[in-house]
Chain A
Amino acid sequence: MADPANTKLGRMLLDEITPVVMVLRTPLVEESCRKNGLSLIEMLAPYSNFNNIDVPVRTASDQPYRLRKFKLRLFYDSEIRQPNIEAAKERLKQVITRAGDKDFSDQCSDPPDIESLVATSQQEFVPSWFQNFNKELVDAVSFSEHEAFDHPVACLVAVSSKDKDPIGKFVDLFNTNQLPSLLNDGAMDPKILKYFLLVHDNQDGELEKATGVLTAMRSTFGANDCRLLCINSSADGMEEHQENPWASYKNIASNSKQLGCFLNVDDIEELRNTMHDLSSKHIIPHMELKIRVLNQQVSATRKGFRNQIKNLWWRKGKDDAPENPNGPMYTFSSTESQIRVLGDYAFMLRDYELALSNYRLISTDYKLDKAWKHYAGVQEMMGLAYFMLDQSRKDAEYCMENAFTTYLKIGSSGGRNVTRCGIWWAEMLKARGQFKDAAGVYFRISGEEPLHSAVMLEQASYCFLSSTPTMLRKYGFHLVLSGDLYKKSDQIKHAIRTYRGALSVFKGTTWNHIRDHVHFHIGKWYAFLGMFDEAIKHILEVLACGHQSKATQELFLWDFFRIVQETGKTFEVFRLQLPVINFPSIKIVFEDHRTYASPSAAIVRESLWQSLEGDMIPSLSAMKTNWLDSKVLPKKYKESNVCVAGEAIKVDISFRNPLQIPVSISNVSLICKHSAEYDETESDAIGSLTECHNDKELRTISVSGDFSLDTSLFTLSEVDISMQGGETMLVQLTVTPKIEGTLKLVGVRWKLSASVIGICNFHSDIIRKKVAKGKRKLKQVKDNLQFLVIKSLPRLEGVVDDLPKTVYAGELRRLTLELRNPSKISVKNLKMRISHPRFLNIAAQEVMNSEFPTCLRKQENSSQSCTQMDAAKAANSVFVFPETTANSWETPLKWPLWFRAAAAGSISLYMTIYYEMEDASSVITYRTLRMHYNLEVLPSLEVSLQTSPCPSRLQEFLVRMDVVNRTSSESFLVHQLSCVGDQWELALLRPIDSAVSFELLMAGQAMSCFFKLKYGRRQGSTEEKISSLATSGRADVRLVDSDSGGLFDTSISPFDLFHHYERLHQERHEQGSDGVGIMGHGSTVDFILIFESQRESNAGLPSTTEVFSHHKCHCKIASNSPIWWLMDGPRTVRHDFSAAFCEINLSMTVYNSSEDVVSVRISTLDSTSAINSASVSGNEVGWHDTSHLSEIKVTSDVMGTRFGKALSPESVSPFIWSGSSSTRFNLEPLSSVVVPLQISVFSPGTFDLSNYSLHWNLVTSCDGGDDDEHGSRVSSGTCQGHSYHITVLQKE
């Protein structure tokens, strides 16, 4: 530890516990001094503090030591009394207030970071005025009678040479009854050292008169004790002092230049000599002498064993004396007082050993006397002496504590002493690094008076901060406590200061409750002081207090608005917390070469568009990596995005109201910076933005601001929203640049409750992160808030008219794609691509002019199918608009589209239209228009078609159609069923009759009807086969009365178009589940069911007919085998069984429908069990079960049970096949052969002749040719025989 004298406490003690000189003067002396703006004491004060007096001192011991520093305290006689408590209080208050004002000016900066605060040394963060305050507190208890160090050691009597009868005045001055009570009431020895000073004002008279008086004085009072002091030697009063010695002593730093203006160098030298003479030649020797004398007396009366015994015994006797709360009065002549004086004098002359021994001696006496105040005082001095000796720390602390508690014990009379003792004690602990204990002491000092307590608590808090380990939380807590007390005693500035200090503790923590409280109060107090900027800054911190109760939130918000209103200005607040912006959700949509027809199109994944546009966009490779790489753009613009002048950049921002109370937000708009120059350096741009980057800067803006200025460069959209508590809102803001250049999105601004403007800057890194996540495909490392604005380009606007949101499945519509080019520049090379050709397809332009749906009706001369088919095939890829349409449009381009709701469910349709600029000089040479539509398709009719071979005729099939209306309310009119392919003929099983017409099919209703399908295939070549779909005529069956219009022509667009896609789709679908390829063209059939719905229009307009179509492709016809056969023979035979068994001749016609030669083997089976097994092994050669198979099973109901009643396996079959059990033959392609068969029947009855099977296998005569066509073609199979019932009756 450092030398105790160099510690704060040491310096304080050396300053405070010094000899007191009482100054008596005549008014004329004072008058002379006043000329310099100083009183006599003030004039002398600088010279009564000696830094190197170098006086040898010899106290009780014989060993002299030298005194270096010495100080005299000068007081007028009137000041030597206990200060008035009220006055002292007032002075303390002044000190605090002044300090508050002074400190406050430099408070507006942010409170320092708590970590750095800890790192700085203690002196820096502890306000300096504490020292003054503590000094004032100590001074407030000076001149008490129980302590001797404030008792005057000497008396300086000053008389002016102008005074009449100076000698008499000297005597009068000391004899008047004006002397302090201390001297009069006997607490002090009135016989004190006197020093006579004759003050001569050189301006007032000659020096001779003064010297005359001096001689007279010397003769009267003794030669040594008199001195002449000449002042005011400078005549003009313009004396300048380099370092004005009085400046620091004069409390009020008034015109310090004039201080001592009449004192020249000689005068000052004289002043210094006078005081040096007084202290070294008079006061110190006097004190030495007194110490020695007193020491001798004390030794004589109190030292030694005998004296101690005597003393003890004597004091014991006084025990029963009545107790005086102040203890007995000790006069100056009492031994106790003398010992105390001896101790104090020794202390003042730095002989701490001597002082300590005397204090120790006296303290027991006081204790025995129950003179508690005296006792405490002595204990206090003992503690200090221990401290100055740097000996026993424990003792020092013990003494101080003892003194402290004793003062506390005696109550109000010791009140001030408690404070002083506490301050000393705390200082002592601080000097030794025991900050925590010091804090405890400060805490104990803080009494009832709020102001004192506040200061003490604040000091305590700083102790916590200095302690190791740092107790930050206690620091904060005590600062808050202290701030509350400051506030209570109206020291708002101090309160703010302490709270701000506390804030540094709570700032980063999650203790929101405390932090909000601190912020809120600072804000309130700042507002109270009229510093609204600061007030708002702090209240803003608590605005977004979602965790607080609703009442608190309202209070905060209400106070905030009140403060804002008081300012009467509009504030711009950087990073306003209300409402909260959800940064990661900010989304920027801009259009470069990609344009979007609707906002929904913009949010579609870029990869989806890319895959759609893939082969439309030129120079594909460059596009795919980064379109900016194309050489059109200078390299330096790579980092910025490109947008087009006149086209809006949209920014989606989500605002969240964290409070439970509704707030209203108005004028939400973007902040943008536009610079016309392309080549603006990056640094410039940032430089112009720095003003916004200053944290939490508050700016008062003029009403118009800089935004009106910007309107020529870009326009901003403004949005007003009102948010409920806890609500989150998505706001779309737009900025439309008007001029080429660079546009930067800086941030967003809004107005809260029409009073505060909030500003929030975007941070490019935050948004970039989002972009990377959201696949907005901006790979630039650089700023993506920066946009390169290029000159305006044509931008097509496209819309598909009347695209319904909800449709029923199967609905056919003609839609119109309308493309508009608002700009003067024309575009060319239009191409279009649609994502779902099954749903939406391009129609021929002529369709525009014809009437829908009547144009779909069958016309007499329908011969356009071939050309349409090409279009349909081409539509899979890119559709190129004819050149003629694209050149320039005054009127919008309309192009028809076919729409068919192919399948139920939700579907997203994407269309992209590519176009090129006529003006090739532009940076962007082409653009794409992206359109996106969502629609929902509701189920309408569910159609299932089953075909089964007609049991009675070859190449004829029964078709059963089941239709169920799946809608909830809609009713449909089934109009027609067509089958595709010219080889088919379709007819109703029963001709339609008007009575049983299939009227409207109501919701939920089901319907079945049966058709006859006939295979009427001509001999055809391979080419014909391929184009069979296209060139076919169709078989149509009308299902309604003819009055509702003609049949629809399914061979024209859009039916064939959609049928094509439907076929592809269903084929794909089937191949997923069915590993078998299509067997021959004859094996499947496609159906188109067309139904209508009458849509009532309530506007009185004629009701419109909506056309629906249902396509059912690849319906398998009965069997997968290439052969068809038919059993022919009598159905009923009469026979006389009594004669013989009956032989019946049958014939089987077998037809080969395939292109190959087929070898057929007919096996007849007589055993029923074999039949059973044969039915199971229908799949034996590798046929997989298909949906059609199951349908066939169902149709078998129509044809009757195949096996009839199961015959018991044991029973003998009632008939047998006669003739060979197996017949084999080869069948040429597309030819038939008749095979005779015969059965023998033994008894009458009805028999099912299905127990035979046909085995076929392809005879690949010229194999290899067809293999690639039917890769998975099956070359052999087994067919179970059809049931054929024959009834044999007994002939009568």
Chain B
Amino acid sequence: MIVCLAVVGHQNNPLYIQSFTEADDALKLHHIVHCSLDVVDERVNNPKKSGPTINEAFLGLLYPTENYKVYGYLTNTKVKFILVTTDLDVRDADVRNFFRRFHAAYVDAVTNPFHVPGKKITSKIFAERVSTMVKSFGLSPAS
């Protein structure tokens, strides 16, 4: 299950961060997302390590913590998507697919003429769309 999704701007400022858990762990997830930016930076700056997927927006597993797996995705505008999940056996393909759809949702949200680039994404439709995507992500491995 996805516990947290975040959009981080190209100056590493949080644009959207949403946790999908009941518990009051917003702070922890903030920390995890914030920390994973270091790894994103590292991946981006040392493309050697990331190997053949150099032109790939999907950054793969950023780092595993005790209970979570953190995946990253970097758009061409240096906006980062961070996904924190508790599923310890997630297939990369699923995550990649999820990120693609999330990217589409993000693009739709920021193409709103009332959205100010570099400011937080406040669109309700975006939030709804994301939450349905998150729900369906939990189901997709079962199907």
| Interface set of A (CB-CB < 8 Å, partner B) | 464, 469, 471-474, 476-477, 480, 509-511, 513-514, 517
Contact = CB atoms under 8 A, between A and B. Distances in A.
A474 B35 contact: yes
Contacts of A514: 27, 30-31, 34
A643 to B, nearest CB: 42
Given A511-B14, A513-B26, A513-B27, A469 B34 contact: no
Contacts of A480: 31
B42 interface: yes
A511 B34 contact: yes
A469 B38 CA distance: 9
Nearest to B13: A510
B41 interface: yes
Nearest to A502: B31
B61 interface: no
A425 B12 CA distance: 33
A517 B27 contact: yes
B30 A469 contact: no
A827 to B, nearest CB: 56
26 contacts: A464-B38, A469-B42, A471-B38, A471-B41, A472-B38, A473-B34, A473-B35, A473-B38, A474-B38, A476-B34, A477-B34, A477-B35, A480-B31, A509-B12, A509-B13, A510-B14, A511-B14, A511-B30, A511-B34, A513-B26, A513-B27, A513-B30, A514-B27, A514-B30, A514-B31, A514-B34
Given A477-B35, A510-B14, A471 B30 contact: no
B17 to A, nearest CB: 8
Contacts of A464: 38
Contacts of B110: none
A435 to B, nearest CB: 13
Nearest to A470: B38
A439 to B, nearest CB: 11
Contacts of B31: 477, 480, 514
A1119 B67 CA distance: 98
Contacts of A473: 34-35, 37-38
**Which 7 A-B residue pairs are closest in the complex by CB-CB distance?**
A510-B13, A471-B38, A477-B35, A473-B38, A513-B30, A474-B38, A473-B35
B112 interface: no
B45 interface: yes
A469 B41 contact: yes
Nearest to A505: B34
A471 B34 contact: no
Interface string B12-39: 1110000000000011001100110110
Interface in B61-109: none
Contacts of A513: 26-27, 30
A476 B12 CA distance: 15
Interface of B: 12-14, 26-27, 30-31, 34-35, 37-38, 41-42, 45
Given A471-B41, A472-B38, A477-B34, 7 more contacts: A464-B38, A471-B42, A473-B35, A473-B37, A511-B14, A514-B30, A514-B31
A325 to B, nearest CB: 27
A514 B28 CA distance: 9
Contacts, number: 35
A513 B19 CA distance: 13
B50 to A, nearest CB: 15
A437 to B, nearest CB: 13
A862 B140 CA distance: 102
A477 B42 CA distance: 16
Nearest to A516: B27
A488 B38 CA distance: 27
Nearest to A473: B38
A7 to B, nearest CB: 25
A513 B120 CA distance: 14
Nearest to A480: B31
Given A474-B35, A477-B31, A477-B34, A469 B45 contact: yes
Contacts of A476: 34
A517 B34 CA distance: 14
B64 to A, nearest CB: 12
B54 to A, nearest CB: 18
Contacts of B30: 511, 513-514
Nearest to B63: A474
A472 B12 CA distance: 12
A509 B41 CA distance: 16
A805 B42 CA distance: 70
Contacts of B35: 473-474, 477
Contacts of A477: 31, 34-35
Contacts of B45: 469
A510 B119 CA distance: 11
A514 B13 CA distance: 12
Which residue among A472, A477, A511 has the maximum number of chain B CB atoms within 10 Å of its CB? A511
A637 B27 CA distance: 56
A750 B30 CA distance: 35
A471 B37 CA distance: 9
A471 B38 CA distance: 6
A464 B41 CA distance: 14
Contacts of B37: 473
B51 to A, nearest CB: 18
Contacts of B12: 509
Nearest to B26: A513
Nearest to A471: B38
B65 to A, nearest CB: 10
Contacts of A469: 41-42, 45
A384 B41 CA distance: 33
A474 B31 CA distance: 9
B13 to A, nearest CB: 4
Contacts of B27: 513-514, 517
Contacts of B34: 473, 476-477, 511, 514
A480 B27 CA distance: 11
A641 to B, nearest CB: 38
A473 B35 CA distance: 5
A959 B26 CA distance: 83
A353 to B, nearest CB: 35
Contacts of B42: 469, 471
Contacts of B38: 464, 471-474
Contacts of B41: 469, 471
Nearest to B45: A469
Contacts of A474: 35, 38
B35 to A, nearest CB: 4
A513 B27 CA distance: 7
A918 B87 CA distance: 90
Contacts of B13: 509-511
B23 to A, nearest CB: 15
A114 to B, nearest CB: 13
A925 B68 CA distance: 79
Nearest to A475: B38
A687 B35 CA distance: 45
A509 B34 CA distance: 11
A1279 B72 CA distance: 90
A464 B42 CA distance: 12
A514 B42 CA distance: 22
A511 B14 CA distance: 7
A464 B34 CA distance: 14
A517 B26 CA distance: 11
